[in-house]
Structure 1
Amino acid sequence: MKEVLVIGGGIIGLLTAKELMTAGAAITLVEMGQTGRQSSWAGGGILSPLYPWQAPEAVTALSGWSQAIYPSLTTELLDTTDVDPELTQSGMLIMDTAELDLATAWSARHGQRLEVVDKSTLHQIEPELGPRPERALLFPEIRQLRTPRLSRAVRRYLEKRIKLREREEVLELIIDGNRAVGVRTPKGRIEAEQTIVCAGAWTAKLLEQLDNRPEIQPVRGQMILFYAKPGQINHITLHDSHYAIPRRDGRVLFGSTIEHAGFSKRTTAEDKEALYRNAVELFPILKRTPIEDHWAGLRPGSPNGIPYIGGYPGISGLYFNAGHYRNGLVTGPASARLVADLALGRPPTLDPGPYALTAAR
């Protein structure tokens, strides 16, 4: 049985551990804090890039594979853990139509259903929407899920099947010649035949000891949560790069900022106010809705949002699966399958070329 060490317990690390464990590997997962508490917890859970026709083809390939697998994955998790990730087909409504031709061509090419809805239809499907454009785009098959619930479900699935070491920071990789043999933590050495780095925004920092490391930077995003009622907002709704996400219980998540603030997760009153103004302009009903929460998370930003998935050149036994930027949830299952394929020597599910450390981005 192959011993594999996974560094990082966000949704990418958790899904990678699950994929490898299912294939018969013995897994140790090390997380510096609690699993699923960084960007995996903070994210909105939209299972699509925000403007999908703008995404690089490499991201679209991962997204399409993952979108197809999520119904069976979430059903399996619910059946085995009793935690419901709340996979919901709420559709994605986009107010910005300047790129209608690009969107239409993209949807036809990738088999993603797209409808152009007029103002009267908008009123029928989203009666609480503010000023309505003459037309909008609707991707009716887009789903969402609640990210903390997904992380909790995968963790519960894994906790009795793998060695799970939380609140244990990896201090350095242990490289013997041209081979990775494990890591060092404050509690000592952890050795493994293969090491897979899934440390999100902290990946480049962890790989500082190596000559060539992925270009991954933390990008802060702030969100607010409204304590709304079910049925007031029906669709994931995008306008001017902001989004409203209605949950099953009525709560509405609104985001998000894009800030280069290092590893600070501090929230700011200015951004909270700006998010609030955008939210009530999009849905005026939110003026009468209390704000329940306000938080920030750190996305693992990478050039063009294309993640790094594959082996480290010149060091056997070392792999990475990180840098998913805003699309970690929608690309997670495919990313986990691909890095597991490469680590286990299986035929790759997708072409690994675009995700290599040396690939142009």
Structure 2
Amino acid sequence: MSDFLVLGGGVIGMMLARELADAGADVTLVERGECARESSWAGGGIVSPLYPWRYPSEITALAAYAQQYYPDFARQLLEETGVDPEFREDGLLFLRVADQQDALDWSARNGNPLEAVDASFLYEREPDVAPGFREALWMPGVASVRNPRLGQALKASLQKRSNIRILEHTEVRHVYHDEGEVLGVEGKQMVFSARRTILCAGAWTGKLLQELGVETAIKPVRGQMILFKAPPGLLNRVVLMDGRYLIPRNDGRILAGSTLEYVGFDKHTTDDALVSLRETAYQILPRLRDYEVEHHWAGLRPGSVDGIPLMGEVPGYRNLFVSAGHFRNGLVLAPAATRVMADLLLKREPQIDPLPYSPAFRSNAS
């Protein structure tokens, strides 16, 4: 019997499995598809909430931890696996921000570098951004990672550890429990059991909890994105306007996203979204009209109330835990989510106060 059974092989599930294994535990990780191929793969990879001043303090605390964690973590993964997560700390430019003063006030309160800059600053750094902007907001410390590469590196890292067992293409069909104790979970052909089980199944977590009689706000929220095959240097940092963003990759490709759609578990792409994303990209960077859209895809985010994740012991169960509901910020918050959950599961002194994310606390607060 494993010490821990992690249900879900996204970035959050894999990072937690890695942390638990490195503490000496035996870990089984079960993934319904392929590791890091759901929202971890589909997202953009910005290591910051899009408009961080618009989020509650619970998100700010987690994001601050993660932003300090990622530089060394990305280097460790590259050295360990040879797969480069493409960590880029090139900053973020915000265009057309209506609540600029709120952003500056948030920066002053939290010590997060952010400043208002003029047109010369903007166009010196990104000369191909659409003309006519007189000002922008600039966050120099914001980074990005190429999330599919991060997922590949994490999976390779897990495969190097003898005390982690990875089972892909294994959908959980049933959770066996008795008098508040999870006895095991049923996969395709066998039952897996562990001393403690952690639900990290992203948008599917709400369904699993519902089957156990636990109601949450976790539900799928579709996001569609496109990728332009552009040359290196056309864009060098993340640019955000009206809730949409452009993210450059090392090979020159530029990712544009994203939509926010409440359509259940439907992952189909739509022509309307393609047109909308493409037009927004042209409004930010007109030269993208010269380059083809190479890919168009959709993913399902695990939606939650105010974007605040549930992390902790599931009420009514002694050995069942959850880490899900990170909404649009799963990759952003993954290092902090790992720290919260690992400290809880390994009974270590918490580095981040876990109470605001506890399922019991969140249930009472709502």
TM-score normalized by the length of structure 1? 0.97
Corresponding letter in the other structure for 2:112: Q
Kindly indicate whether residue 31 of structure 2 is the aligned counterpart of residue 31 of structure 1.
Answer: yes
Whether 1:116 aligns to 2:116 is yes
Secondary structure of the residue aligned to 1:327 is helix
Query: Does the Cα contact within 8 Å between 2:2 and 2:193 map onto a contact in 1?
Result: no
Q: Which runs of 5+ in 2 are unaligned?
A: none
Task: Show the counterpart of 2:135.
Answer: 135
**Which whole-Å CA distance do the structure 2 matches of 1:306 and 1:318 have between them?**
19
Greater shift, 246-255 or 118-127, is seen at 118-127
The answer (yes or no) to whether the contact 1:223–1:275 under 8 Å persists in 2 is: yes
Q: Could you say what secondary structure the match of 1:208 adopts?
A: helix
> For the residues of structure 1 that align with 2:160 and 2:278, how far apart are their CA atoms?
42
Q: CA RMSD in A?
A: 1.2
Aligned to 1:186: 188
Q: Secondary structure at the match of 2:98?
A: coil
Comparing 152-161 with 190-199, which one deviates more in the overlay? 152-161
Q: Secondary structure, in 3 states, of the residue corresponding to 2:9? A: coil
Residue by residue, what CA displacement relative to the aligned partner does 1:253-289 show, whole Å, maximum 9, x if unpaired? 0000011111111001111011111111111000111
Alpha-carbon deviations, 1:300-324, whole Å to 9, x = none? 1101100010001121110000010
Partner residue of 1:89? 89
Q: CA deviation at 1:2?
A: 6.6
Please give the alpha-carbon distance, in whole angstroms, between the structure 1 residues aligned to 2:167 and 2:231: 39
Distance in structure 1 (CA, Å) of the matches to 2:324 and 2:24: 23
CA deviation profile, 1:180-227 (whole Å, cap 9, x unmatched): 232111212111000000000000111222222321110000011000
Tell me the secondary structure at the aligned position of residue 116 of structure 1. strand
**Does the CA contact (< 8 Å) of 1:85 and 1:146 recur in 2?**
yes
Given the alignment of the two structures, is residue 168 of structure 1 paired with residue 167 of structure 2, yes or no?
no
CA distance in 2, matches of 1:176, 1:30: 21
Question: Taking structure 2 as the reference length, what is the TM-score of the superposition?
Answer: 0.96
Q: Distance in 2 between matches of 1:339 and 1:309?
A: 7
Q: Secondary structure at the match of 2:4?
A: strand
1:17 aligned onto 2:32: no
| Aligned twin of 1:74 | 74
What is the letter of the counterpart of residue 259 of structure 2? Answer: T
Question: Which range moved further: 83-92 or 108-117?
Answer: 108-117
| Corresponding residue number in structure 2 for 1:294 | 296
Identity of aligned residues (%): 48
Q: Which residue of 2 aligns with 1:280?
A: 282
Structure 1 gaps, min length 5: none
State the number of aligned residues: 361
Tell me if structure 2 keeps the 8 A contact 1:310–1:320: yes
Confirm or deny: 8 A CA contact 2:210 2:216 kept in the other structure: no
